[in-house]
Chains A and B, each alone.
Chain A
């Protein structure tokens, strides 16, 4: 097992190297010059040249790439070309909101989706099942910003239960922290509820047809006992897997949600950085996201091999 983990960890290295190269090239080939963005419309060519020089943009591309890769390896992500602040500092600042939003979204998704999926499986083919399934496809079909705006309109503007926007760190008190996360997390959770509920339903149905469940039933176990105790338990692996997949997919969704609810997270950071051509920030944030993605996939793979010994790379 240890060797397998090590092998998988090592296999992540070339992937991340590829990510770094792709991101670097995509950015440096784009038009737009951070020096021009900083210097403003009145800058003279001399000032621009000096600014580019100071920012290291006059070096050959390949040199810039290797300088950057070297810096990353030594844990130095450089400074933002626009604000002059260390990128690690910027990411630290923005990591809390994104992490909180992702975790709360996931908790909501799991807490809502598992009962829904189990109920649907239990009522397989009946009205309730059909409603859950139809609802789950619908959850995929409405753009997240429309859900977000509607939530703001109903729960913040009309009912006044939650604030419209913003983010407060946990250190400002749990209440302040939680109340601002409810609307964005609920809006963002819709597609994940849909996804997880479908997986739960399918797997529970599959497990319920297995012999040992029939035995359990025959032994007089209640329907609820069968569902909760046996079926759900045995469907755990694929369910955990899909939750892992959801975490990876969440990264894309937070960009929109952070914009709608004015949450100062990594999604907004990278979007602003693209508009300002702040290369160092874009590179580092994308690399961070990719690392998280690769790592989650690794965990998913490990879970697979843990529960199904036949699978080995």
Chain B
């Protein structure tokens, strides 16, 4: 056909890639392979550079954590057990026996110290922990200690946290890489080994059972307990077209879809060949955010008008289907499933009040300057948010300029503090998974430290004080009182507006026995019958 210097290079390359295909296909003869369509493609391999869920989920396959949360949210030992000194200042961690890296070398306390030191630079809770820490040192191969300047429980929360950026343990050689430099190694001590040869960034990732992994004795619960791998191989793929994914599931080409669009559920509902499963911990909260630094939302009254204008039901209708059981309205900032659920201003938050909003607009002399609302169009859960918010604001008398763009552009533009004409913004919306939301320290939506806060930059010192207090209390009742105070302050100041909660639906072939309900879709304790 055609040949140019470049062309022939790539033709050769293509032939080469056929050959690479041949080496990987030998693993395709493994007895049980589970093919799963994940919610997003895996493109990077460093869990410390991003809080993207797919990266976190990948890390739970390949790496292990020192501590883990069980199904009830209790902190349990995973790789290590711990002891606290009587003064509450020193934590001693002891690694359990038999931990091994995928290259066959044993896991040591040195590895863990290096891993924690890399991770605590990037994670919000990790940074709080690091700021309180005086010293972290290796005692012997299996023991290390952390010493703090004041008694704190944050260390256990931090080392068991399953979201934001979770603390995964890596070999020291890898963990010594500066945080600014993404790692490409995938040597962990987790229950699955990453098959690097078969990895196609953005297309597929293959994991095989790691025979050297010794599960804990306790039964599996949440992310804690035994992680038993019951299949030989797990292949993650991404499909850009949900219709194609659904069709592929129905013809048996794939076994598992992490998130099937709710509108496609009728295809599989009632069909005995498929099972639907809701992992409660993977539910999400919708959130609307205003820019506190620009008019009109530098005015608290105008923010209140928006809160009154918005309502949750239409949003949920558009996201998961009218009257669907997969969505629920929720006035609580920290999530309705959390210990900190609150009913404060429930009616104002949940239901639209266009007339009340109009009244405020009139009082404040709103002149019809358009509200610039950023609308992400390339993520299934976010796509419906923009039009619904725009419509509700318009119904309440706002002029809305909804700007549609891909998520990358939203992420870039929301960082801008400029005026609208110079590329700034007034409002955007997104979702967070519930385990991220119910943590008053880690939840980005409630931080209100002005310039240091999340995009929108609300400046409410009382909230920051409350969050600091929360980090240092150990008593659950006291913690709850502070959390409820944060909830109230967030609503009173229009820091963020909760827009309802919905659960994602996982669909799998009936041949699959699904694993535990955890924050991440995990593939241990999951089996497949022929």
Contact = CB atoms under 8 A, between A and B. Distances in A.
A and B touch in the complex (CB under 8 A): yes
Of B2, B203, B250, chain A has the most CB atoms within 10 Å of the CB of: B203
Contacts of B241: 259-260, 262
A93 B200 contact: yes
B426 to A, nearest CB: 17
Interface stretch (A118-126, A132-140, A270-278): A270-278
B50 interface: yes
A166 B412 CA distance: 33
A166 to B, nearest CB: 6
Of B10, B20, B407, most A-chain CB atoms within 10 Å: B10
A51 to B, nearest CB: 6
A149 B124 CA distance: 45
B2 A295 contact: yes
B44 A165 contact: no
Nearest to B455: A41
Interface of A: 31-33, 36-43, 47, 50-51, 53-54, 75, 80, 82-85, 88, 90-96, 99, 103, 149, 152, 156-157, 160, 163-166, 168-172, 247, 259-262, 264, 268-269, 271-272, 275-277, 288, 291-292, 295-296, 299
A50 B180 contact: yes
A292 B49 contact: no
B4 interface: yes
B412 A33 contact: yes
B6 interface: yes
B2 A299 contact: yes
A168 B28 CA distance: 12
21 contacts: A31-B413, A36-B415, A40-B51, A42-B164, A80-B201, A83-B202, A84-B184, A92-B16, A94-B200, A95-B13, A96-B18, A156-B251, A171-B21, A172-B25, A259-B241, A262-B241, A264-B203, A264-B204, A268-B203, A276-B408, A291-B6
Contacts of B412: 31-33, 36
B150 interface: no
A296 B444 CA distance: 53
A168 B225 CA distance: 38
Interface in B296-338: none
A169 B408 contact: no
A296 B415 CA distance: 44
Nearest to A149: B243
B343 interface: no
A299 B35 CA distance: 43
Contacts of A152: 244, 247
Contacts of A51: 49, 180
Contacts, number: 181
B21 A295 contact: no
A43 B165 CA distance: 10
Nearest to B53: A40
B97 interface: no
B43 A92 contact: no
Given A83-B43, A95-B17, A272-B202, A164 B49 contact: no
Nearest to B202: A272
A169 B49 contact: no
Given A42-B164, A268-B240, A292 B43 contact: no
Contact of A291 (B7, B122, B239, B406): B7
B140 interface: no
Contact of B182 (A31, A84, A259): A84
Given A95-B14, A152-B247, A31 B409 contact: yes
Contacts of B19: 171
A165 B257 CA distance: 15
A166 B51 contact: no
Given A91-B10, A165-B239, 14 more contacts: A31-B423, A36-B412, A51-B49, A80-B201, A83-B202, A160-B251, A163-B248, A165-B244, A172-B22, A259-B241, A264-B204, A275-B408, A288-B6, A295-B4
A42 B182 contact: no
Contacts of B406: 32, 275
Nearest to B251: A164
A172 B23 CA distance: 10
A32 B409 contact: yes
Interface of B: 1-2, 4, 6-7, 9-11, 13-14, 16-22, 25, 28, 41, 43-45, 49-52, 122-124, 164-165, 179-182, 184, 200-204, 237, 239-241, 243-245, 247-248, 250-251, 253, 378, 406-409, 411-413, 415, 423, 444, 454
A171 B14 CA distance: 12
Contact of A54 (B9, B18, B180): B180
A194 to B, nearest CB: 22
B244 A83 contact: no
B409 A38 contact: no
Contact of A296 (B2, B124, B251): B2
A82 B244 contact: no
Given A51-B49, A92-B16, A156-B247, A42 B444 contact: yes
Contact of B239 (A169, A262, A288): A262
Given A93-B17, A96-B17, A276 B165 contact: no
Give the 5 A-B residue pairs with the shortest CB-CB distance, closest first: A169-B21, A50-B180, A83-B201, A92-B13, A40-B50
Given A165-B253, A171-B22, A41 B51 contact: yes
A168 B18 CA distance: 9
A38 B44 contact: yes
Nearest to A82: B43
Nearest to A173: B25
Given A164-B244, A262-B241, A262-B244, A169 B17 contact: yes
Contacts of B411: 32-33, 36-37, 41
Contacts of B202: 83, 264, 268-269, 272
